[in-house]
Structure 1
């Protein structure tokens, strides 16, 4: 993961200047037509297509001119412009012509310059073999003609190739040679680049104290020559020093350096890649020191920037760090999610070093599949290391036998191609094996979930059956009480009223008054008891059904937990106590799954659920105003398949209607016996 653990910045000139230090002094003329077209192409606000047209015209003129120093000088200027404007095919055509002309004229100076420019071109592809050959040839020619102008840049660029291919010893040797030349010529930009590069090489060999020394040397160069270098070099060195301390596990010191670099507020807007590296590294140090909240905040900010810029290798790093954070807080689910996404991106973008780092983290987080990840990690690490060893050996041979390797270039390219095809074949085979194993694991997980679901349904059936027994017992008891009230108390009260009525013939005013009061009171008692009896008799019919209660609880939980507004209607004509238990179970599960899908994906503001009974059929609809989806393109996941399967179990039909930005409506129709 060395390519994104630290931020490389080199103020390197691709081609070099025209000063030949006594080797060649070319008088430039702007009166000929080739120079006129070249000047036209360099004007501001000109379209790329127009530029290319003028460059082609200039090249067409130059290739038919006499092979002299002026022609080669102009052709070199044209080649530089084609390179700067990324006209690759035209650049190679111009460079190859200049190589031919310089070879015929035995012009070592321009031959060295064009080898150097081709080295830059192939390094950026990247095609490290070709690039290394051209840099080595340029070095050999410049040393032969004793021209050190630009030689340090050739050595620095060559060391970059060796660094990227794991040849740290070779890179260090090239950098030391470049340092002596740059020191003698007082090449400030090269001295800074060499210091940073030596520091990075020391980090790779785990000599962190030496790395810090080199980075501090780079800071000293910036301090004394800040105007001669590009922006944010100071912050780059501070980042690398902080990273060195982080590697030493001295996290407190690393935090200080990252914070110092972040004091430059312009980094965020002007160099978001460097800013994302700084806050990500700072977040990791916070994670290691226990400042988890701040670490999460910085990781998420860095990830957002990298996703916007589409820096996929850096996105993998962010997700690896996030998985480590979630693991530390024991959030296994999110930890697995982040590392799975990291593996997917690294594999898709074919960034093998990122994939290896993600595999290492996955083996720690996913305990169940740790063995698989570890084996894959070891295999790919060994494979890449073998490729690096082959590259180191190859570069050594190039330096010792440049002429022989140039002759055998085609053979080496065939070997490299075969090696690449073999590597791709192995990776593909392992990927297929990984997919098969993952599919098997997914199938097992699905079977387990189905078994668990069946167990839940059995438990629900038992609960419903138990509830039915309780309801039956309650009904029997209520009827007994109603019968006792009606046949016992009411009969006695009615007899009392008749007795009182029989003495109503007494004409005594006081007796008449009291008798009427007693009669009225008995009537009131009789009416109260009658109402109690009737209430007890019809309570069963008025009592909310158990299914309705469970469904209402689900709606209340949905409203309390999620922001979407939910409204529902339940037809009172539906007699749930006559509906079979398996239908109620399946309806409840479909309703539950539908609401869960809305919460996960729909981003809805309102949800409407309706229960209706028409023509002895139960009609249920779940509708939302969310973002919707293309039903024809959307693959049916496990949840949707379960919903369809449950509808079929009820002899019903499930329809899903949706389109993008128009919400989703799920309709379920079930016949009732």
Structure 2
């Protein structure tokens, strides 16, 4: 009797599969859509119509939400017209597109659809895709679809005989449906749990779950769910409950329950359900010892399912008939029908029905009893081995999937740690860089401020020196003016008066005297030339000691900067014998050098040496920062120094290394000095 529960479980799964979202129209830029008359087309026309939509969809080559939805919709429609290959193709396309854009809503849905396509051919593959869909649905907290995937996995386990694992999966599914309003799914899960517990011989618990499923029907009626759907659920549950009554030996309860739903409406609208109820009622009456109309009921049910072409239903009815003829002692008829049932069970690979038919044949066919018994044992061992392997296979799928998930979690965690560390280091680097930049800017501002103050002090010092030189020049001019007025002008006036007086006389004595005055005019001319020459070369250097002027220049700078200046002048040098033009230029060179040391060198010490040997040599040496001579050779200050030296036919050289100070060397030839002094 337990074989009938397979029919009811199949009906439950069929109902669940039909709950895929079946929308009869979509739009994609007003080009791809399901026509409103689509549902009225024949199967062939539907397939042609879907093919044309699929071709048009592929040509768009877009990957947006609507495209992925249409692939899933086409997969659904192909599934309904039983074209599994094309349904699988569009489901896989939807999965690929969803993964490309990380569409977490449609990716698990595509996995779900692929699992449905593999359910009847490759159960392990179907289980694999349901499992992956389940993981993704949990991730997005879609608990109704999580429960649906658990139900699908449980259904596969149930049909492979893994009833304990099936019970675990269904328990998890029911747990996820605690707050759900998907009453169809709640019903199906409780119904499958009842069938599973029936196989585990826990009849009382199985009956409890079937009654919970029946209670869901009342809620469905309140929520105005389709009456035909509720009727199918109701018939399925009553059949399952009657199976349990039969297994418990309570045949009268089973007969009462089945008679209540055996109606003409059921026969006319749902002939397959009617045939199942009729054969179950006949079986219960047979087991209860009531053979009235039992044979005709079995044959009526068999004729209905044979006309529908559903071989599994035909198989069950023939097994029932074989067992009925066995109770009627019609051994020949019983053996004939049971052999047909066995051949059909082998054909459709219904392992449990193969065992059932072999067991009955070993009882009925006494002559071949040993053969059927051995065959039964071999088949049973094979089935147990297959179920054991299936158990390990599904457990391995669960384990490997869990392992991959754990590895992904560890990888994601490590990536998160790495990303956090990188962001932290980057943030730290930015803070340090910003701090150093601010510190550098502050130093730069302080340096610029100090430099500005130093420039102001140097400017004031130069202004003071310039003012002193102007005073000296003015004094010299006043002295020259005095000499011109008091000396030369008086001499010229006297000569002019005497020459005027002598102009009227022409004797020899007067002529001689006149010649003397003419010589005197020549002397006055020479004196004026001397004064003019001294004026053009600044008599400032004649009236002052040159060493004193240099020390004054150094002391004026010494007061405003930290560099220690030291003057070392050869005492053998007679500065009065050196032409002013050389002293002026040496003074300007030293002045420019001191200014450069003050502004740029950052030196602690600077020595100015003036040495006399075959040359008059000037050395200016500091221990400052130094600089790259090649980069600074075009500086205005250096060019001016060089031009001053070259104008006097001297030799100019500068040596400097970064971090090791600077040395300026200037040399003038004594021969040239003497020549200049002679011609001056």
TM-score scaled by length of structure 1 = 0.55
Report the equivalent of 2:73. Answer: 77
The alpha-carbon distance between structure 1 residues 17 and 54, as it changes in their structure 2 partners (threshold 3 A), is closer
The alpha-carbon distance between structure 1 residues 136 and 289, as it changes in their structure 2 partners (threshold 3 A), is same
How many angstroms apart in 2 are the aligned matches of 1:203 and 1:153? Answer: 22
The alpha-carbon distance between structure 1 residues 344 and 77, as it changes in their structure 2 partners (threshold 3 A), is closer
1:340 offset after TM fit, Å? Answer: 2.7
The answer to which of 139-148 and 219-228 deviates more is: 219-228
Query: 2:260 aligns to what SS in structure 1?
Result: helix
Report the equivalent of 2:238. Answer: 238
1:42 offset after TM fit, Å? Answer: 5.7
1:108 offset after TM fit, Å? Answer: 1.9
Assess if the C-alpha contact under 8 Å between 1:142 and 1:151 holds in 2.
Answer: yes
1:166 offset after TM fit, Å? Answer: 0.9
1:386 offset after TM fit, Å? Answer: 1.2
Structure 2 residue 200 is matched with structure 1 residue 205: yes
Structure 2 residue 150 is matched with structure 1 residue 155: yes
Question: Structure 2 residue aligned with 1:87, among 77, 83, 89?
Answer: 83
How many angstroms apart in 1 are the aligned matches of 2:126 and 2:362? Answer: 37
Report the equivalent of 2:118. Answer: 122
Please list, as runs of the form range in 1=range in 2, the aligned pairs for 1:263-662 lying within 5 A after superposition: 264-402=263-401
Query: 1:183 aligns to what SS in structure 2?
Result: coil
How many angstroms apart in 1 are the aligned matches of 2:2 and 2:379? Answer: 16
1:29 offset after TM fit, Å? Answer: 7.6
Question: Between Structure 1 and Structure 2, how many residues are aligned?
Answer: 394
Structure 2 residue 220 is matched with structure 1 residue 222: no
Superposed structure 1 runs of 4+ greater than 4 Å apart: 13-19, 47-50, 403-406
Query: 2:340 aligns to what SS in structure 1?
Result: helix
Query: 2:194 aligns to what SS in structure 1?
Result: helix
Assess if the C-alpha contact under 8 Å between 1:108 and 1:145 holds in 2.
Answer: yes
Cα displacement string for residues 14-58 of structure 1 (whole angstroms, at most 9, x for unaligned residues): 574599xxxxxxxx98362542xx323863433444444443343
Which one has a bigger Cα radius of gyration? 2
Report the equivalent of 2:29. Answer: 32
The alpha-carbon distance between structure 1 residues 260 and 54, as it changes in their structure 2 partners (threshold 3 A), is closer
Please list, as runs of the form range in 1=range in 2, the aligned pairs for 1:46-57 lying within 5 A after superposition: 46-57=41-52
1:3 offset after TM fit, Å? Answer: 5.7
Query: 2:293 aligns to what SS in structure 1?
Result: helix
Assess if the C-alpha contact under 8 Å between 2:144 and 2:176 holds in 1.
Answer: no
1:368 offset after TM fit, Å? Answer: 1.5
Assess if the C-alpha contact under 8 Å between 2:4 and 2:243 holds in 1.
Answer: no
Assess if the C-alpha contact under 8 Å between 1:14 and 1:120 holds in 2.
Answer: no
The alpha-carbon distance between structure 1 residues 140 and 279, as it changes in their structure 2 partners (threshold 3 A), is same
The alpha-carbon distance between structure 1 residues 3 and 107, as it changes in their structure 2 partners (threshold 3 A), is farther
Assess if the C-alpha contact under 8 Å between 2:283 and 2:320 holds in 1.
Answer: yes
Cα displacement string for residues 350-389 of structure 1 (whole angstroms, at most 9, x for unaligned residues): 4333222111000111112111111101110111121111
The alpha-carbon distance between structure 1 residues 317 and 92, as it changes in their structure 2 partners (threshold 3 A), is closer
How many angstroms apart in 1 are the aligned matches of 2:280 and 2:43? Answer: 39
Query: 1:292 aligns to what SS in structure 2?
Result: coil
How many angstroms apart in 2 are the aligned matches of 1:326 and 1:52? Answer: 46
Unaligned runs of 5+ in 1: 20-27, 407-673
Query: 1:146 aligns to what SS in structure 2?
Result: coil
Assess if the C-alpha contact under 8 Å between 1:259 and 1:282 holds in 2.
Answer: yes
Cα displacement string for residues 639-669 of structure 1 (whole angstroms, at most 9, x for unaligned residues): xxxxxxxxxxxxxxxxxxxxxxxxxxxxxxx
Cα displacement string for residues 165-206 of structure 1 (whole angstroms, at most 9, x for unaligned residues): 111122111111211222312211111111111110011101
Assess if the C-alpha contact under 8 Å between 2:22 and 2:73 holds in 1.
Answer: no
CA RMSD after TM alignment: 2.7
Question: Structure 2 residue aligned with 1:45, among 11, 35, 40?
Answer: 40
TM-score scaled by length of structure 2 = 0.54
The alpha-carbon distance between structure 1 residues 88 and 319, as it changes in their structure 2 partners (threshold 3 A), is closer
1:309 offset after TM fit, Å? Answer: 2.2
Cα displacement string for residues 516-565 of structure 1 (whole angstroms, at most 9, x for unaligned residues): xxxxxxxxxxxxxxxxxxxxxxxxxxxxxxxxxxxxxxxxxxxxxxxxxx
The alpha-carbon distance between structure 1 residues 14 and 126, as it changes in their structure 2 partners (threshold 3 A), is farther
Assess if the C-alpha contact under 8 Å between 2:362 and 2:370 holds in 1.
Answer: yes
Assess if the C-alpha contact under 8 Å between 2:28 and 2:66 holds in 1.
Answer: no
How many angstroms apart in 2 are the aligned matches of 1:29 and 1:354? Answer: 45
Assess if the C-alpha contact under 8 Å between 2:134 and 2:145 holds in 1.
Answer: no
Assess if the C-alpha contact under 8 Å between 1:200 and 1:211 holds in 2.
Answer: yes
Structure 2 residue 10 is matched with structure 1 residue 12: no
Please list, as runs of the form range in 1=range in 2, the aligned pairs for 1:243-258 lying within 5 A after superposition: 243-258=243-258
1:65 offset after TM fit, Å? Answer: 3.0
How many angstroms apart in 2 are the aligned matches of 1:29 and 1:373? Answer: 58
Question: Structure 1 residue aligned with 2:92, among 91, 96, 105?
Answer: 96
Report the equivalent of 1:437. Answer: none
How many angstroms apart in 1 are the aligned matches of 2:296 and 2:26? Answer: 60
Question: Structure 2 residue aligned with 1:185, among 160, 180, 184?
Answer: 180
How many angstroms apart in 1 are the aligned matches of 2:35 and 2:124? Answer: 36
Report the equivalent of 1:550. Answer: none
Assess if the C-alpha contact under 8 Å between 2:194 and 2:207 holds in 1.
Answer: yes
Query: 2:178 aligns to what SS in structure 1?
Result: helix
Query: 1:12 aligns to what SS in structure 2?
Result: helix
1:306 offset after TM fit, Å? Answer: 2.3
The alpha-carbon distance between structure 1 residues 51 and 308, as it changes in their structure 2 partners (threshold 3 A), is closer
1:405 offset after TM fit, Å? Answer: 9.1
How many angstroms apart in 1 are the aligned matches of 2:324 and 2:122? Answer: 37
Report the equivalent of 2:600. Answer: none
Assess if the C-alpha contact under 8 Å between 1:276 and 1:302 holds in 2.
Answer: yes
1:339 offset after TM fit, Å? Answer: 2.1
Query: 2:385 aligns to what SS in structure 1?
Result: helix
1:333 offset after TM fit, Å? Answer: 2.6
How many angstroms apart in 1 are the aligned matches of 2:357 and 2:298? Answer: 16
Cα displacement string for residues 311-331 of structure 1 (whole angstroms, at most 9, x for unaligned residues): 333333333332333332323
Report the equivalent of 1:604. Answer: none
Assess if the C-alpha contact under 8 Å between 1:34 and 1:62 holds in 2.
Answer: no
Assess if the C-alpha contact under 8 Å between 2:144 and 2:182 holds in 1.
Answer: no
Assess if the C-alpha contact under 8 Å between 2:183 and 2:219 holds in 1.
Answer: no
The alpha-carbon distance between structure 1 residues 179 and 34, as it changes in their structure 2 partners (threshold 3 A), is farther
Cα displacement string for residues 555-614 of structure 1 (whole angstroms, at most 9, x for unaligned residues): xxxxxxxxxxxxxxxxxxxxxxxxxxxxxxxxxxxxxxxxxxxxxxxxxxxxxxxxxxxx
